[in-house]
Chains A and B, each alone.
Chain A
Amino acid sequence: MINEFKDVVEHPARSVRLAMEKTGKKAVGCFPIYTPDELIHAAGAIPVGMWGGPEMGNLSDKYYQTFCCSVVKANTHQALRGDYDHLSAVLVTAYCDTLKCTIENWKVAVPHLNVIPVVYPQNRKLEAGKQFLIEEFQRIRGELERVLETEITDEAIEQSFALYEAYRKAMRTFVDVAGNYPGLIDATSRHAIIKAAYFMDKEEYLEKLNALLNELAAIPAEEHTHKKVIITGLLAEPDEFLDLFAENSLVIVADDLAQESRQFRVQAVQEGDALSRMARRIADQDGCSFLYDDEKSRGAMLLDMKNRYGADGIIYCQLKFCDPEEFDYPIIKREMEEAGVPLLYIEIEQQMDSVEQLRTRIQTFAEIL
């Protein structure tokens, strides 16, 4: 079953096309992170995660400087190559300068992809911020209705939101138990299981995940001597990097990755309609480098996670040139030093062929632990 998830992640374009054929649905691309996928689902389409890829190419050089992150450049390269032509629209967020430029660049570079910007309020916890976000969701709803030539009813949004809440709850259960099985679910498998959700129809994915969780429930936790780590950052890829965890007897007991747990760790409040609950979920999301946080609570959150999961150390996975993550690092570094928590900083690229330097870092960290 784990191999099925891996297969989806290894062939994302094929997986999305397959899901479109099976369901007869259209598909909409979603840049990282926190796009309102529920609205796409409510429109009867499949939200597709756009998380770069192993090939950055050079087509994007026309639009970006060398110091822009590889996720955006890889997405752009793929878009220019026609890889996303099966998408009806693309939601592009505006968290950093590179993403902001992407919204404008793509309107020119790939106009047929119907770029829909998604702007999050800086003061997301204020009532005015929540209201702004609800109105933003309404605007996106209208854009999706126009592009997908359909009506998105309130009822459909409520149903999609309920499905996504079920999905997020199942994901929280999965990441909680995955650390009990370092042999069965190594770092690479853990990542594939989570990431497959971006390329599958949500109902089918949830069904498969629940089946996996049922199987796991029948398997006793593995006895192991692995050191327990928490990973934090935008993402932790490629597989060659994740393979180093098993190689050095490290098990990921929890993550604070934008691509993984940040997507589903916040449970929605019960009151209000779906759009206000979606806005409230963003307001309640703390410790994320992409959302303004005047409390700078990420360090305290990581320390709490460390204690809760009995972790031995934390690995800060810095995607090269990801500004929001770079801004957070000095604060996290100081707080972890003060708390005496081992912290490893590593720079990664999705397109890394050689991981020798990373091997030395990960192995040394394991030796320190």
Chain B
Amino acid sequence: MYLGVDIGSSSSKAVILDGKGQVVGQAVINIGTGSRGPQKVIEEALTQAGIARADIKKTVVTGYGRMTFEGADKQITEISCHAKGVSAVAPEARTIIDIGGQDAKVISIDENGNVKNFVMNEKCAAGTGRFLEVMGRVLDTTIDGLSDMAERGEDGVTISSTCTVFAESEMISQLAAGKKIEDVALGAHKSIAQRVAGLVNRIGISPKVVLSGGVALNESVIKALEKELGYDIIRLKSPQTMGALGAAMYARALEQNGAES
């Protein structure tokens, strides 16, 4: 059995593969690095697989918390792991947009799931999950609730500020000016899509496009991004666990090839 653990800034993910590369356990816990999240998520995945920790032959850890996790055979970046994981479930993907809790990445991959190039957000949290969290708080709802609200929006307001804090005050101003809450929610999604599209343009887009990471569960973001980019986006069943899946695949390769393929 092979374990892949993805410790993000706001969630922990684990995937266990058997000797044939089939997923036998996977779990997501919504607390990330610096918490008990990694431990709990591994326990949950082990329980799901019906195995003990001792049955794990190799472990690869990825994500923001990878350097502080003890007991892994190798640390690999979430960029390489997302590429590997996505290429397994969506082999046709050539551009991966990974929107995580505190950073956004665009990864260009080849037909074997190897990273050709990548870009990350540089200066701030614009275009990340944290942006949506902050905006959800302004509208007194969760990220899911924000997405539902946006679905009902008709004429999304324009949020011009790149800075998350300024964008927050802009949203409050829009509400104070009497705009519908659904249109403000839609505006927040348009804003994140614009920021991410800017990142995509820096690297260039090659179809097909996949959205991975926790924010990919948010249908409103996908729709806003499709509109912004002009491309359809492949919906993944489990976008959050792509990094952990890739890590588990690397763990399996470590054992089987003794290599780092």
Residues of A within 8 A of B (CB): 320, 342, 345, 347, 356-357, 359-361, 363-364, 367-368
Q: Please tell me which one of the listed residues A357, A359, A367 contacts residue B80 in the complex, with CB atoms under 8 A apart.
A: A367
Q: Check B123 against A364 for contact (C-beta < 8 Å).
A: no
Distance (Å) between the CB of B238 and the closest chain A CB? 22
Q: Please tell me which one of the listed residues A320, A345, A367 contacts residue B77 in the complex, with CB atoms under 8 A apart.
A: A367
Q: Please tell me which one of the listed residues A320, A347, A357, A364 contacts residue B118 in the complex, with CB atoms under 8 A apart.
A: A364
Number of A-B contacts (CB under 8 A): 34
Q: Check B123 against A360 for contact (C-beta < 8 Å).
A: no
Given contacts A347-B122, A356-B64, A357-B120, contact A363 B77 (CB under 8 A): yes
The 3 closest A-B pairs by CB, nearest first: A364-B79, A364-B77, A363-B77
* Residues of B with C-beta under 8 A to A364: 77, 79-80, 115, 118
* Residues of B with C-beta under 8 A to A367: 76-77, 79-80, 115
Selected A-B contacts with CB under 8 Å, 28 pairs: A320-B123, A342-B117, A345-B119, A347-B122, A347-B123, A356-B64, A357-B103, A357-B120, A360-B64, A360-B77, A360-B78, A360-B79, A361-B118, A361-B120, A363-B76, A363-B77, A364-B79, A364-B80, A364-B115, A367-B76, A367-B77, A367-B80, A367-B115, A368-B80, A368-B114, A368-B115, A368-B116, A368-B117
CA distance A364 to B77 in the complex (A): 6
Distance (Å) between the CB of A253 and the closest chain B CB? 22
Secondary structure type dominating chain A contacts: helix
Does B52 have its Cβ within 8 Å of any Cβ on chain A? no
- Which parts of B114-167 form the interface with A (CB within 8 Å)? 114-120, 122-123
Does B67 have its Cβ within 8 Å of any Cβ on chain A? yes
Q: Check A359 against B120 for contact (C-beta < 8 Å).
A: no
Q: Please tell me which one of the listed residues B67, B103, B118, B123 contacts residue A359 in the complex, with CB atoms under 8 A apart.
A: B67
* Residues of A with C-beta under 8 A to B117: 342, 368
* Residues of B with C-beta under 8 A to A359: 67
* Residues of B with C-beta under 8 A to A363: 75-77
Nearest B-chain residue to A365, judged by Cβ:
B118
Nearest B-chain residue to A330, judged by Cβ:
B202
- Which parts of B51-90 form the interface with A (CB within 8 Å)? 64, 67, 75-80
Interface size on B, residues (CB 8 A): 18
CA distance A317 to B233 in the complex (A): 33
* Residues of A with C-beta under 8 A to B123: 320, 347
* Residues of B with C-beta under 8 A to A356: 64
Of A345, A357, A359, A368, the most chain B CB neighbours within 10 A belong to A368
Q: Check B120 against A360 for contact (C-beta < 8 Å).
A: yes
* Residues of A with C-beta under 8 A to B76: 363, 367
Of A320, A361, A364, the most chain B CB neighbours within 10 A belong to A364
Nearest B-chain residue to A342, judged by Cβ:
B117
CA distance A333 to B77 in the complex (A): 23
CA distance A345 to B117 in the complex (A): 10
* Residues of B with C-beta under 8 A to A320: 123
Nearest B-chain residue to A318, judged by Cβ:
B122
CA distance A368 to B260 in the complex (A): 12
Distance (Å) between the CB of A351 and the closest chain B CB? 14
CA distance A345 to B123 in the complex (A): 13
Distance (Å) between the CB of A320 and the closest chain B CB? 8
Name 14 extra pairs, CB < 8 A, besides A359-B67, A367-B79: A342-B117, A347-B122, A357-B103, A357-B120, A360-B64, A360-B78, A361-B118, A364-B77, A364-B79, A364-B118, A367-B76, A367-B80, A368-B114, A368-B116
Q: Mark B93-129, 1 if CB is under 8 A from A, else 0.
A: 0000000000100000000001111111011000000
CA distance A356 to B114 in the complex (A): 22
CA distance A14 to B40 in the complex (A): 51
